[in-house]
Structure 1
Amino acid sequence: MGRRVKVVCIHAYVAACERAMRHPESEAIVSELYYAALSGVSWDRAAQRLQAVTSRPVTVALRVVGADGRELIAGQAGLPGEALIEYRDYYASINPYTPVLADLPSRRPATVRDLGFDLVHLSETEFNKDFLTRYDVGPAGVGMKMVDGGDGFMVLGVNYDDSHSPSLDPLFKSLCLELSEHIAHAVTIAEQQVVDARRSGAMATLSTLPTPALVLNERGRVIGSNRPAEELLASGVVLVDRNRRLRSRVPTVDDELTHAVDHAMPPHRRTAILRVPDFGTTGDVIVSIVPLPDDPSGPTHWSQLLEDRFPVAIAYLSRDMRPAAIVEHLRGLYELDVVEARAAYAIYCGLTLSQFAADEGLNLYEASLLQDRVLQRFGAHRNADIARRVGVVAHLTGPASLSVQHPGDKG
Structure 2
Amino acid sequence: MGSRVSDSSERAIARLGELIDAAAIAPEHWVEVCRGIQDVLPGGRVLMQGYDSSAPYAMPLAGVGWDDINFDVYFAHYAAINPWIPVWTDLPTLRSALSDEVLPRRILERTEFFNDWIKPMGGAGSASGIKIVQDRSRMATLCVHYDDRRAEKSHEALAPIFQALAPKMRRALDCNRAVLRNNRSLLGDSLMRNLIDPALVLDGDCRVLDLNAAAQELSASGRPLRIAAGDRLVLGDAEAQSRLTLLVAAVCARRPGSIGRHEISLRQGPEKLSFSVLPVTQNLRDYALQGPIGLFTPGTIALVVIRRELTDASAELEALRQRFDLSPQEARIALALRDGGTVAEIAERMGIGYETARVHLKSAFAKTDTHRQRELLALVLDTAGPRG
* Alignment TM-score, normalising by the size of structure 2: 0.42
Relative contact order (alpha carbons < 8 A, sep ≥ 6): 1 or 2 greater? 2
* Alignment TM-score, normalising by the size of structure 1: 0.40
